[in-house]
Amino acid sequence: MATYREIHGKAIKTLSSDPSAETNAGQIWYNTTSDTFKTIVKTSAWSSAAPISTARSNAGGFGIQTANVIAGGSLPSGKTNLCEEYNGSGWATGGVLNTTRGELSGVTSGTLTAGLMFGGNTAPGWNGTTATEEYNGTAWTSVNNMATTVSFMGGSGIQTAAFSAGGRVPANTNNSQEYDGTNWSNGNPINTARQGGVGTGIQTAGLYCGGEASGASADVESYDGTTWTEGPNLGTARYRLGGGGDTQNTSMVFAGSVPGGASKVLTELYDGTSWSETADMGSTAKEQVSGFRGPNTAGIATGGYINSPPGWASTSEEFNQGTNVITAAAWAAGGTLNTARSAVGRSGIAPTQNAALCVSGYPGPPSSIDVKNVEEYNGTSWTEVGDVNSSRYRGICAGTTAAGLFFGGNSDVTPGTKPLPLSEEWDGSSWTAGNTMQNGNEAGAGLGTQTAALQAGGSLNPYPNYTNTAEEYNGTSWSDVPATIFASVSGVTGVGTQTAGLIFCGNEAPPPGTNYANAQTYNGTSFTSVNSCLESGNGLVGGGTQTAAFGAGGGPGAKSRVQHYDGTSWSTVPSLGTGRNNASGGAPQTAGIYFAGTPGSGSPGATEEFTSESTAVNVKTLTQS
């Protein structure tokens, strides 16, 4: 009988701890610490990823999992020309299409800097277009039109050698076309006319999968650049599905609809011979963006339409197959405040996720404010510590849990009352009155330390006299500095230091008020405009630094959105579990904290903590069962 070494070329090792390298996949070892035999095995799984900024269905897509593009699509209000780019962590704004449309197709095997979108519908119903556009990673350029108008087709290939198959004209069609980087020409027809299928592979070795003929189809046809040949069918018939793959033999399909409009969460992989079902998706959205380049071990699905409750989806999921288990980035519940409240000290005293202060605020809509309470967080639970001397709501914070600063705010909810110019310093155990501000202010941005703080924007006396003024604190006194370069706003957010700060969003003079997405940096002397946030709003919680910041939640309403800034551009990340406004928080971008506030649902005393994506080798214990 052959030994394990003879079969696998490796002996069973004795180790005190588990190996962590993917190269150890398939090897068995004996762990002396746990007294067990173990191995590393391959897994397939979908995991949640950052949402897109604009929910949509029937968009086009291309690129690899970590450098992906979606463009166009259908919105509740009609078609869109918006484009977004994915960097493996979040979605950022890209160049807009020249032709607004949905039900278009992209080249699955294209790249972020060499992509192609073509065809589609420019309005509800049948308003087909032959428009074709190339993408260079920054802007779209209109090029020669398709040979035949079509929408809901399947497309793939690369920017200089693409194909289109099937679709709607407005009836189901068996049309196929090829693009050579300059011109489109009609090719040989597919065998079964249908729409809503998905294309994968390249122009000389492609697939057209699924779709809708007289009903949902499981048909798969392969293309060699000249002829379409019936291939192995999908295991589950469906249409308006997603998929991708840079070669014919490393393709995958996912999601889609079946007769009656029900959504499917099934995923199937192709190895060149047959289709096999693998891990199901988490989302029940159909009409998802199809198009990603790369093997069927690393896919991405974005957006779509959800049947119940009905609506357009902004969700994204990543598919990974390998020996690593990926834990997606996410916000998770932390300890609950002892005194639930909102409108607490803005900008937050939270240097880390495990060290934060929740300062003053109010527990509801009282006739007067009496919450002097301050609580400290240790990463697990909140503990009451020394009260502020003057209770206030919409106050502003800066500093750390050992050396904090609380300033401005209002002590009366009566309309037209004046914000206060008070400031207080925290030494880790008690609050001491400091010198007053130049102006009473509430709901402004705060950032920096106890001895080098900045306040910008907010509302002066009497409320709501919104302002763009700014002040600096040097540990002893406040002094005016040049005003912000944007409109007078309240609910503005600040992060960073007095010499390297970032100020963003806010709301201009109600009612009803205009929300801004504007952002600007501060260098200790002046403000400079930078790229705007992905979405306008006010009262966001901010954390991080000038070049690695986050903005979470806020209004109008109680948003759950979260955005990251890298010093140049903004991108989406996983949303909060509960949307809230008038909250507080902070800490680094990769380990943020968010607490208190006015929620759309749930408790105003809740805390959420952010954990970045992590990867670990999939080690399994071997048993006899």
162-179, pLDDT tens digit by residue? 999 999 999 999 999 999
Are the C-beta atoms of residues 441 and 477 closer than 8 Å to each other? no
Q: Which domains does the chain have, with CATH numbers?
A: 4-42 (no CATH), 45-322 (2.120.10.80), 338-611 (2.120.10.80)
Give the separation between CA 88 and CA 68, rounded to whole angstroms: 8
| Tokens 């897994």, located at residue | 43
Given a cut of 80, whether residue 11 has pLDDT beyond it is: no
pLDDT at 293: 64
Cα 380–381–385 angle (5° rounding)? 135
Place of tokens 């003024």: 469
Residues 6+ apart with CB under 8 A from 491: 443, 505, 506, 507, 538, 539, 540, 554, 555
**What is the per-residue pLDDT across 245-272, written as a single tens digit (0 to 9) for each?**
888 999 999 999 887 777 788 999 999 9
**Mean pLDDT of the region 583-608:** 92
Distance between CA atoms of residues 604 and 364, nearest Å: 10
pLDDT in tens, 492-509: 999 999 999 999 999 987
**What's the pLDDT score for residue 377?**
98
| 252, 254, 260, 261: CA torsion to nearest 10 | -130
Mean pLDDT, residues 100-129 = 91
277: which 2 tokens? 């079902």
% the chain with pLDDT above 70? 93
pLDDT of residue 367: 47
Closest of 310, 346, 306, 410 to residue 555, by C-alpha: 346
Query: What would the two tokens of residue 356 be?
Result: 């934060």
pLDDT in tens, 131-145: 999 999 999 999 999
Q: What is the CA radius of gyration of the chain?
A: 28
| pLDDT tens digits along 350-391 | 999 999 999 999 876 554 566 899 999 999 999 999 999 999
State how far the alpha carbon of 162 is from the alpha carbons of 134, 143, 294, 327, in Å: 12, 14, 16, 35
Smallest CA-to-CA distance from 217 within 245, 199, 195, 188 is with: 195
Asked whether residue 411 carries a pLDDT value surpassing 50, the answer given is yes
Nearest to 110 by CA among 254, 289, 292, 316: 292
- Encode pLDDT of 52-89 as tens digits: 999 999 999 999 999 999 999 999 999 999 999 999 99
Range from 22-26, 218-222, 512-516, 604-608 carrying the lowest mean pLDDT: 22-26
pLDDT, averaged across the chain: 91
Amino acid at 31: N
With 0.85 as the threshold, say if the pTM is over it.
yes
For 123, the 3-state DSSP assignment is coil
Residue 428: its pLDDT value, please?
A: 97
How many Å apart are CA 120 and CA 490, to the nearest integer?
A: 43
Count other C-beta atoms under 10 Å from residue 158's C-beta: 21
Looking at per-residue confidence, does 473 or 41 come out higher? 473
Q: Specify whether the CB–CB gap between 291 and 244 falls below 8 A.
A: yes
